[in-house]
Structure 1
């Protein structure tokens, strides 16, 4: 089973840059997309309904052309959920979950705090609110794959300029401690680190300067899995050869 997570930074923009041509060759079973930046009515072109996939979108309703998540699945899900019960989060289009038997695949777009203190404080509130939800999921007996742009690096190997970013959103000690809690206390597994413990690879690069060309990046896109899936992790890759977005697609292969 192959799952791909990708922050498109505008799904229509990514489409013009060849994302869907690339996707056809990947043989992915599930694709999780974040930052669609579109309303579903604007996605009438056939490319946004890739052949062989059941496609589900959760748009932002509070601000059009903002945020938004999607899931494409080869197998029709038993159920699709698009709300976690917090209106301000749900209406920004930040969560969609597809359920297949005992497996849940979630496409998450965790808020960024980089635009200023108001959004950073909102990010902290969302992290606090999500903590018991993740704890409940981890203990539920279901298998979960939590895909998406989490807007947080975890360790020194996940960011090029570790020291100079300690006071910047996405690398704050409080944010990284939250990931510690998820991994160390709740038992969630960072699939990339489980497969590549010491690798230095990134999934996002600023559009400023020559960040991508110089590989001055951050690893903020994850597939975080419940403990029962750890032994099924086989391989993972971050695709950088083409530039569809300021993020790169992140693929993980799981044993059936």
Structure 2
């Protein structure tokens, strides 16, 4: 099972840059997209359709803001949207597709870079999401959570990390939040199971040569339940062609589909 996650930073612009042409060549079973900045009814154009895929969307209430989607080659048993709290549900930040053996989720955590109010909203969202991770452990199925967390976990996940310790996205308590998910709750950072190298980034600031110089951060994840750890077979970040400030994260699992 191949799963791709990607923060489009606007699906319409990413499509113009060739995202869907690229996706057609990737042989993915499930594609998780975030930060669409468009509503489902605005995406009727043929270029947003992938032949052979079912597409599901969860829109933000506000126009031109957030929104997540899942494209899947296999018809899901069920689709779930939202997590039951306003910062998620009104902003279109979580959608889940249930298959026979696993559930795959496309999600996004808001950025806190715009100021104290934005950071407070981010932390409130993180608290709600952490509660959902805890509930997930009581389910009798496996999960893959895909998306942008807007947090770099370790110093190896951020260029110039020393100067960014007081910046949203690398604050000590944000990193401790990830520690709790991975170390206390036992979830798995799927990419890091296979790739321990430094400077493996999925995001680069929008300025000249940041991507070329590889000055960025690893903000995008696939997080799995513990039982899927042994099924993680291949993991890579696609950097060859930019579709947004983020890069697609591609992971293969030895999990039967559908």
Measured in 2, the distance between the counterparts of 1:241 and 1:207 equals 16
Q: Distance in 2 between matches of 1:211 and 1:93?
A: 30
Per the alignment, residue 35 of structure 2 pairs with 35
How far did residue 39 of structure 1 move? Answer: 1.2
Q: Which residue of 1 aligns with 2:155?
A: 156
Structure-1 separation of matches of 2:91 and 2:44: 21
TM-score, normalising length: structure 2 = 0.96
State the distance in 2 between where 1:37 and 1:148 align: 15
For residues 208 and 197 of structure 1, the distance between their equivalents in structure 2, rounded to whole angstroms, comes to 27
Alignment-derived partner of residue 70 in structure 2: 71
Report the more deviating stretch, 72-81 or 128-137: 128-137
Gaps of 5+ in 1: none
Structure 2 counterparts to residues 110-149 of structure 1, below 5 A:
110-149=109-148
With 80-89 and 141-150 compared, the bigger mean Cα shift is at: 80-89
2:2 maps to 1:17: no
Q: Secondary structure at the match of 1:213?
A: helix
Q: How does 1:1-256 map to 2 (within 5 A)?
A: 1-61=1-61, 63-256=62-255
Distance of 1:15 and 1:198 partners within structure 2: 31
Matched pairs, number: 255
Q: Cα distance, 1:212 vs. partner? A: 1.4
Cα contact 1:60–1:92 (8 A) shared by 2: yes
Distance apart, 1:214 and its partner CA: 1.3
For structure 2, the residue ranges without an aligned partner over 5 or more in a row are none
Does the aligned pair in 1 maintain the 2:8–2:243 contact within 8 Å?
yes
TM-score by length of 1: 0.97
Distance between the aligned counterparts of 2:237 and 2:138, measured in 1? 30
Rounded Cα–Cα distance in structure 2 between residues aligned with 1:141 and 1:41: 35
CA apart distance, 1:199: 4.1
Q: Give, in whole Å, the separation in 1 of the partners of 2:226 and 2:190.
A: 10
Report deviation, 1:242.
Answer: 0.4
